[in-house]
């Protein structure tokens, strides 16, 4: 008989499991890779010519890429909800519980795998962005800060997505619930400047999590002044993460009672 393993061992094993499973789930991998790339091409080539982003940007592609990266993170994180919901539906969660594995390590494994998936798809989207004319000008510090903001955003979205997976009664419903996360970049400065939206929308667009994140990413990657946007973005991510972890802890207890 071995010593009871700790929460870190459990989380590590769970991460390995989620990574193996997501690697084999080819459909989901292709969707989460193709969709953001397609959307980027649509925005740049179909809509881009009609969108006036002001004189600060040489071309629309320079403006839109950071937003597409966040959109991509939204799609990628949403699959976490489906994966968590599948776990809750099947018997595997009872097996984990009977092995004394808590809810947090199970979700942490999903979130860690989601983060890795997202980094892969972000890299691909970024590569395509470079091909179609995106030219970042960031310093080393800027790159690191941009990566930090993106990571925080991905982890927070993945964990809230995991909580949604616990909330939904079926994997299909879980997929539907995450729709709002994919939708959130649209009423923000991700694709068009907030000034160009109707006045009543400004309050929301200026004060929702995507706007500071996209402003921070854009400023850092293009070496423009960012003000306090990175800090606001990180604060949003920390707040969302706190709520998501707390909420999922409660939901896990309720769902497995």
Nearer Cβ to other proteins (92/132): 92
Q: How far is the CB of 7 from other proteins (least distance, A)?
A: 11
Q: Rounded to an integer, what is the distance from CA 90 to the centroid of its chain?
A: 26
Are 223 and 138 within 8 A, CB to CB?
yes
Residues that bind other proteins (CB under 8 A): 1-5, 9-10, 13, 16-17, 20-21, 24-25, 90-92, 94-101, 256-257
Nearer Cβ to other proteins (12/37): 12
Nearer Cβ to other proteins (22/211): 22
Q: How far is the CB of 88 from other proteins (least distance, A)?
A: 11
Residue owning tokens 């309050």: 203
Q: How many CA atoms lie within 13 A of 240 on its CB side?
A: 23
DSSP structure string for 196-240: GS-HHHHHHHHTSTHHHHHHHHHHHHTT---TTHHHHHHHHHHHH
Nearer Cβ to other proteins (10/218): 10
Q: How far is the CB of 236 from other proteins (least distance, A)?
A: 34
Smallest CA-to-CA distance from 167 within 107, 115, 112, 100 is with: 107
């Amino acid at each position: 008989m071995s010593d009871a393993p700790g929460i870190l061992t459990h989380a590590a094993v769970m991460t390995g499991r989620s990574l193996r499973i997501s690697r084999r789930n080819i459909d989901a991998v292709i969707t989460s890779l193709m969709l953001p790339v397609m959307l980027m091409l649509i925005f740049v080539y179909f809509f881009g010519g009609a969108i006036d982003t002001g004189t600060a940007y040489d071309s629309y592609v320079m403006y839109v890429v950071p937003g597409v990266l966040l959109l991509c993170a939204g799609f990628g994180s949403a699959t976490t909800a489906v994966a968590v919901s599948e776990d809750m539906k099947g018997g595997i969660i009872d097996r984990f519980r009977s092995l004394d594995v808590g809810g947090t390590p199970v979700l942490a494994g999903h979130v860690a795998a989601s983060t890795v998936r997202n980094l892969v798809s972000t890299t691909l989207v970024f590569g395509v962005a470079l091909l179609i004319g995106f030219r970042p000008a960031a310093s080393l510090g800027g790159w690191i800060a941009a990566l930090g903001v993106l990571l925080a955003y991905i982890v927070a979205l993945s964990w809230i997505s995991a909580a949604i997976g616990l909330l939904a009664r079926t994997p299909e419903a879980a997929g539907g619930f995450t729709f709002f996360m994919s939708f959130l970049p649209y009423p923000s400065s991700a694709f068009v400047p907030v000034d160009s939206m109707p006045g009543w929308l400004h309050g929301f667009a200026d004060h929702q999590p995507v706007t500071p994140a996209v402003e921070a990413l854009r400023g850092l990657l293009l070496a423009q002044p960012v003000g306090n946007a990175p800090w606001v973005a990180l604060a949003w991510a920390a707040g969302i993460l706190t709520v998501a972890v707390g909420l999922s802890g409660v939901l896990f207890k309720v769902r497995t009672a």
